[in-house]
């Protein structure tokens, strides 16, 4: 008769390395966090670069759509959509990097804002944004 069963003997001989791996990973993280790179270890004189002119700030054009459907470009009333198109093409020719922000009244019907966005697309404007207000947190 055996004093120990076969399965109990195998369990005693196995080594559980999970705690050792945990310790190794913790030490690795500590070494990574505490090691700093040294960038100023050797004193040198850096070369100088010439200053270049900054690009002029780009102008932003606001298109406002009131709740009655009236369209304004920078406070100038547009009679109809073809007039808006001609005005936008003229602005784009003057400034190829033109930014347009469309502001619509909350009571404006979507089709009126969509018509303005269609005119912006026909005028080949690339930078068109919609203005909104921050919603009240409740």
In the chain, where are the structural domains located? Answer: 60-130
pLDDT at 35: 80
Indicate yes or no: pTM above 0.85. no
Fold category of 60-130 in CATH: Nucleotidyltransferase; domain 5 (3.30.420)
Structure-block tokens of residue 79: 């009679």
pLDDT value for 37: 66
Distance CA 63, CA 65 (A): 7
Provide block-wise average pLDDT over 10 residues at a time, the chain (138 residues). Answer: 56 76 91 73 68 69 88 88 90 85 86 90 88 71
pLDDT at 130: 86
């Amino acid at each position: 008769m055996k004093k120990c069963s076969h399965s109990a003997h195998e369990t005693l001989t196995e080594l559980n390395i999970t705690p050792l791996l945990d310790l190794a990973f913790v030490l690795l993280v500590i070494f990574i966090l505490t090691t700093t790179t040294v960038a100023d270890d050797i004193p040198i004189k850096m070369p100088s670069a010439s200053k270049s002119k900054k690009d002029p700030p780009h102008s932003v054009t606001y298109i406002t759509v009131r709740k009655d459907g009236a369209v304004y470009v920078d406070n100038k009333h547009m009679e109809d959509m073809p007039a808006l198109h001609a005005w936008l093409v003229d602005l784009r020719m003057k400034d190829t990097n033109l930014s347009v922000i469309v502001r619509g009244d909350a009571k404006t019907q979507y089709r009126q804002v969509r018509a303005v966005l269609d005119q912006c697309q026909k005028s080949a404007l690339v930078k068109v944004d919609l203005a909104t207000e921050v919603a009240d947190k409740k």
